[in-house]
């Protein structure tokens, strides 16, 4: 016979005190009573060491130019990078993700692998000003092609996947030679991780890691970025090579394929509409997982802040914490400097 007052087997989390059941919810309330208590038991941590700050660098620009659709964000000229690198060091933000806007574009995107290209020059300037800064080089052709697509175009108007791979590989080697610490292919061409890994190894960069945009969805949330980077396709769209937003199982397959090809880290992009995918990827792989809190997510929040509908500090902190809680080890976000300045 069970002892009178013993906790029933079906509710092992409940306890009795003098015959009166004490609710676990009351226990939760006690643990939320003060900020030191909340901090002591907080399950998900957020710090600057987990943040990557995207930068847009424009060839020929002097100083900074605001991006209208992304309040608080600027395009930077090469002459503004030293000060930016020092700011990031003072804020303890460890890494940047570089996007380049070249002066000239062509149908092959040849400025992407130019040894004196805008990102190559930006990398050297950032490293000169802040040697400890991790520079992640985005690898794609869309910012450099006159047509705005991520690869070469066939006569029928489609993207030529296989013909694009050598150009992505050449771009990756060029960025490595300029001093990039991480190579991040975002183009979504099939086989590009394997091609880039092979090219880096042959060029003497076998130790350089690849952060693959492995699950990059064909999202409506890229709109402000395309303005900022001048990378809007001049015809068609990218649905043929970026992922259908409805497919999570396919995303996991893409992630596992990239790891098999040599990716050292993988990314889910965007972040907030795909928290479930971040969690599935985190549970399935052992490599670090990044999530990109993209331009449209940033701009929506900032528009609400400007209209007085949201408290910026609280909304940003909640957003980044939730991305971490979903399983992201690394968060790429335009909020990085704002969050770091307030922490």
Phi/psi at 162 (5° precision):
-70, -35
Q: How far apart are CA 7 and CA 145, in angstroms?
A: 69
Phi/psi at 129 (5° precision):
-80, -30
CB atoms < 10 A from the CB of 67, how many?
Answer: 20
Phi/psi at 295 (5° precision):
-60, -40
How many helices (DSSP H) and strands (DSSP E) are in the chain? 12, 12
Q: How far apart are CA 69 and CA 67, in angstroms?
A: 6
DSSP 77-140: -GGGHHHHHHHHHHTT--EEEEEEE-S--BTT-GGGG-TT-HHHHHHHHHHHH-TT-EEEEEE-
Q: How far apart are CA 45 and CA 248, in angstroms?
A: 26
Whose tokens are 């985190």? That residue is 282
Q: Is 269 a catalytic residue?
A: yes
Taking a C-beta distance cutoff of 8 angstroms, is the pair 119, 175 a contact? yes
Q: How far apart are CA 25 and CA 31, in angstroms?
A: 10
Q: Tell me the pairing of strands 289-293 and 265-269.
A: parallel
Summarize the chain as % helix, strand, coil (round to 5): 40, 20, 40
Q: How many residues does the chain have?
A: 343
Q: Which residues are catalytic?
A: 216, 269
């Amino acid at each position: 016979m069970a002892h009178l007052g013993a906790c029933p087997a079906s509710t092992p989390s409940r306890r009795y005190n003098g015959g009166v059941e004490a609710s676990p919810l009351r226990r939760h309330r006690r643990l939320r009573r003060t900020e030191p208590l909340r901090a002591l038991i907080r399950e998900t941590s957020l710090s600057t060491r987990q943040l990557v700050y995207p930068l847009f660098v424009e060839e020929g620009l002097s100083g900074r130019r605001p991006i209208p659709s992304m309040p608080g964000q600027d395009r930077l000229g090469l002459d503004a990078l030293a000060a930016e690198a020092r700011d990031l060091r003072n804020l303890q933000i460890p890494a940047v993700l570089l996007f380049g806007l070249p002066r000239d574009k062509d149908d092959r995107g040849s400025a992407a692998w130019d040894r004196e290209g805008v990102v190559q020059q930006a990398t050297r300037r950032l490293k000169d000003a802040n040697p400890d800064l991790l520079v992640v080089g985005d690898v794609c052709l869309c910012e450099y092609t006159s047509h705005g697509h991520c690869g070469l175009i066939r006569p029928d108007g489609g993207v030529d996947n296989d013909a694009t791979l050598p150009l992505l590989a050449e771009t990756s080697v060029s960025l490595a030679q300029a001093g990039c610490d991480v190579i991040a292919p975002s183009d979504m061409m099939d086989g590009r991780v394997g091609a880039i890994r092979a090219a880096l190894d042959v060029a003497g960069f076998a130790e350089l890691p690849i952060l693959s945009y492995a699950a990059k969805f064909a999202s409506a949330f890229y709109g402000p970025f395309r303005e900022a980077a001048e990378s809007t396709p001049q015809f068609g769209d990218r649905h043929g090579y970026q992922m259908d937003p409805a497919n999570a199982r396919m995303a996991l397959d893409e992630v596992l394929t990239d790891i098999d090809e040599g990716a050292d880290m993988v990314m889910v992009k965007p972040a907030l509409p795909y928290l479930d995918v971040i969690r599935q990827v985190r549970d399935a792989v052992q490599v670090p997982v990044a999530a990109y809190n993209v331009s449209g997510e940033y701009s929506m929040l900032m528009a609400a802040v400007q209209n007085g509908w949201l408290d910026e500090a609280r909304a940003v902190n909640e957003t980044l914490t939730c991305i971490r809680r979903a399983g992201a080890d690394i968060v790429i976000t335009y909020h990085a400097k704002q969050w770091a300045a307030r922490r």
